[in-house]
Structure 1
């Protein structure tokens, strides 16, 4: 990637639900978050690493949250919401966007790990503010809108042996 140098201050923001669902549906595997973080930082100065996760009361999730912390992520946890009609929702889009905008003045680069096109406006805003924006996701589930809005894209599908457990 051009315009990448070791003195850049970088934050890595991970939409864990988005990556999890693609890794499971396409590969039936889990994400290697340590490799994801290493590739996102790419030898630069890590300012913040935040993983946005959903608590769904599954037995292994607490150990997953602890593993993220041990790797170097700050975890932001949201409980899944069950609505009157029985449907369930939980997403971190607004939280990720607010964190990215708040952190931007202290960063040179924001790496968002998601394929969600809802983040394309965020990318445009950050770039307008002079922040480099990179995305890491599986290309087959990444919005064209997002691809068009970022300065750099890492397709996790190109190296599944690196990014999947």
Structure 2
């Protein structure tokens, strides 16, 4: 896999729902997306930063979406689906995976900001194709298989004051 260097082209894919649930269940705090993006990029060239969010009709969400745009993330928004039996669903696993595979041909590194083990196979595939994969998530709620499938893992829990608001 390519080593880190300043000319490396990076794409950052942030699974906002996963990050939100992890940061709230573990610490009852929100993620600092500025610190997340800065750490993901390091001193490399940012090509794309995409935050995958779910609209659930909460009063503060539009300001959150605007803040992500101001930080430098493109936001991909999906509406929360409520089924007749009352269950709710909204995940971006397929969308994130498709974007990662597409972007992998155009960048040197994909940074997946999620602890969701469903992305393990994606990471293995992207690495096999020659693109470096880095994962950033909260260690206590991150799948071991995801950590094993990545070239590197940043445990946001080890630097809570940096990554939490």
User: Offset of 1:161 from its aligned partner?
Assistant: 0.4
Which residue is 2:16 aligned to? 16
- The 2-side partners of 1:62 and 1:144 are apart by 33
User: Offset of 1:74 from its aligned partner?
Assistant: 0.1
User: Offset of 1:36 from its aligned partner?
Assistant: 0.1
TM-score by length of 1: 0.98
User: Offset of 1:84 from its aligned partner?
Assistant: 1.0
Which residue is 2:144 aligned to? 144
User: Offset of 1:76 from its aligned partner?
Assistant: 0.0
Consecutive unaligned residues in structure 1, runs of 5 or more: none
User: Offset of 1:156 from its aligned partner?
Assistant: 0.2
Which residue is 1:132 aligned to? 132
Which residue is 2:54 aligned to? 54
User: Offset of 1:53 from its aligned partner?
Assistant: 0.2
Q: Deviations over 1:40-74 (max 9, x none)?
A: 00110000000000000000000000000000000
Structure 1 segments, 4+ long, off by >2 Å, are none
CA RMSD of aligned residues (A): 0.8
Which residue is 2:63 aligned to? 63
Aligned length, in residue pairs: 164
- The 1-side partners of 2:144 and 2:113 are apart by 15
TM-score by length of 2: 0.98
Consecutive unaligned residues in structure 2, runs of 5 or more: none
Which residue is 1:101 aligned to? 101
Alignment of 1:118 onto 2:113: no
Q: Deviations over 1:22-46 (max 9, x none)?
A: 1111111000000000000011000
> In structure 2, the residue corresponding to 1:40 is in which secondary structure?
helix
- The 1-side partners of 2:4 and 2:138 are apart by 22
- The 1-side partners of 2:116 and 2:10 are apart by 20
